[in-house]
Structure 1
Amino acid sequence: MASENGTLSIKDLKPNQKNVNLVFIVLEIGKPNHTQRGMDVRSVKVADKTGSINISLWGDLGVEVQTGDICRLSRGYTNMWKGCLTLYTSKTGEIIKIGEFCMVFSETPNMSEPNPESIKQLQDSGQNPLGNNGNGHQRRSPTDGPVGLEPGTSPASMSSNSGMRPGMPPMQGHMSQMHMPGHMQGGAMPRMPDMPTDPRTGRSAMRPHPYNNGMPPGGMGGRGRGGRR
C-alpha cells in the first residue's frame, strides 16, 4: 500500500510493477559484472522497515551509492530475474541520496528470495517467472555466454567436420579432381630416353658416372677398385 506521498513499502512489491517510488537504506553492494557492451552492473541489497530487496544498478550509479546511504527511488520498476523479484531503475527514473545511517530497517522478509507462490502465480497467468524483456525472450544475464551456443558447449568444440583436426580447413572436392602436370595428362607416362647398346652384344651399355671419386672405371692400374698388386 502506498503512503500519502506515493511511496511504497518493500513488502508490498510485486512482479511487473511500474512507477515504483521507494525510500530505502543501502545494506550491501555486490561486485560489478562487466557486460559485453562495456558497462558494469551491480546487485545492491536495500531495505526499509518492512523488508529488503535487490536492486540492479548500472554504470556510475553503482559506484556512487555507498553502504549506509539513505536514498529515494523515483519511477522504478520490478521484474523477475531467474525466479527472484528484482528492482530496477527506469530510463526516466532517478535515485537521490537524502541521508545516511539513521533509518529503521528490516532484512526480512527478503523479497528477492525465490518465492514458489509468486512463481506459480506467474506461470498460471502465462508469464515467464525467469524474467522477460517484453518481447517473449528471456532476459540475458550480463555474465551469460555468447548467443547461439548450447549450455556447456565451447566455440572450439563446434565443428561440422568430424574426423578433422581443429583448425584444419574442410577438404574441397575429391581426390579424383587433382590435376596432373601437363606432360603427364592423358594417362601416358613420359617416355624415358633410350639407353646406349653394346654393338657386340646388343645389350644396354651403362655409361660410367663422370664423378666416380676420381677413380678410373677399372680401378687402379686397370685391376679394379678393390684389386691388390
Structure 2
Amino acid sequence: MQLKDLAPAASNSINATVILVEKGNTIEEGKEKTKTCVALVADETACVNFQMWGAECEAFQPGEIIRISKGIFSRHKNKLLLRAGKRGSVEKVGEFTILFVESPNMSEMRYVPDTN
C-alpha cells in the first residue's frame, strides 16, 4: 500500500515499505513504563507519523528502510498514527535507497467517516 492511500481503520491491513526519516525521543508511558517513540516515515507518495513500542524504539534508526506488515492506521491519544500493533510486525529491509516525499503528512489530514 502507498502511504497516500491511508485512511483510519480498525483493522490490521496495512503492508508498506518506507524509509524512516526522523525519530523522536523515546519516552516511558504508564505504570508499566512501556517505551514508545514517534518517527516520521515516508514513501514516494506521502509521509506519516509511525509509533514504535518497546524494543522497536532502539531497533530502527533514520535512513533505514523498514517493511511494515499488518499495520494499523488509527487514533491513539487523539492523534492519527501508523503502527504495527499487536498483530503486525516491522523489520529492517535496507538503507538509504528509496525515493520519498515529506508532504503530505497523512497524520495531519482530516478524515470524514464514510457513511456508506
Q: TM-score when scaled to structure 1?
A: 0.46
Higher relative contact order (CA 8 A, sep 6+): 2
Q: Does 1:38 align with 2:33?
A: yes
- Structure 2: stretches of 5+ with no match in the other structure: none
Q: Does 1:21 align with 2:44?
A: no
- Structure 1: stretches of 5+ with no match in the other structure: 1-7, 126-229
Q: Does 1:75 align with 2:70?
A: yes
State the partner residue of 1:3.
Answer: none
Letter in 1 for 2:2: S
Deviation at 1:52, TM superposition (A): 0.1
Structure of higher CA gyration radius: 1
Deviation at 1:18, TM superposition (A): 2.6
Q: Does 1:85 align with 2:85?
A: no
* Contact 1:22-1:74 at 8 Å conserved across structures: yes
Matches within 5 A, 1:93-112: 93-112=88-107
Letter in 2 for 1:24: V
* Contact 2:36-2:54 at 8 Å conserved across structures: yes
Q: Equivalents in 1 of 2:109, 2:101: separation in Å?
A: 18
Aligned length: 113
State the partner residue of 1:142.
Answer: none
Q: Equivalents in 2 of 1:83, 1:90: separation in Å?
A: 16
Deviations 1:179-227 (A, max 9, x none): xxxxxxxxxxxxxxxxxxxxxxxxxxxxxxxxxxxxxxxxxxxxxxxxx
* Contact 2:12-2:88 at 8 Å conserved across structures: no
Q: Equivalents in 1 of 2:21, 2:93: separation in Å?
A: 15
* Contact 1:14-1:85 at 8 Å conserved across structures: no
Letter in 2 for 1:75: K
Aligned structure 1 segments of 4 or more residues deviating by more than 3 angstroms: 81-84
- Classify 1:81/1:75 alpha carbon distance in 2 versus 1 (closer, same or farther; 3 Å): same
- Classify 1:90/1:82 alpha carbon distance in 2 versus 1 (closer, same or farther; 3 Å): closer
Q: TM-score when scaled to structure 2?
A: 0.88
The percent of aligned pairs where both chains have the same amino acid is 34
Q: Equivalents in 1 of 2:67, 2:77: separation in Å?
A: 26
The structure with the greater share of residues assigned to strand is 2
Q: Does 1:51 align with 2:33?
A: no
The structure with the greater share of residues assigned to helix is 1
- Classify 1:51/1:81 alpha carbon distance in 2 versus 1 (closer, same or farther; 3 Å): same
The CA RMSD over aligned residues, in Å, is: 1.7
Instruction: Give the 3-state SS of the residue equivalent to 1:112 in structure 2.
Output: helix
Q: Equivalents in 2 of 1:41, 1:96: separation in Å?
A: 17
Instruction: Give the 3-state SS of the residue equivalent to 1:99 in structure 2.
Output: strand
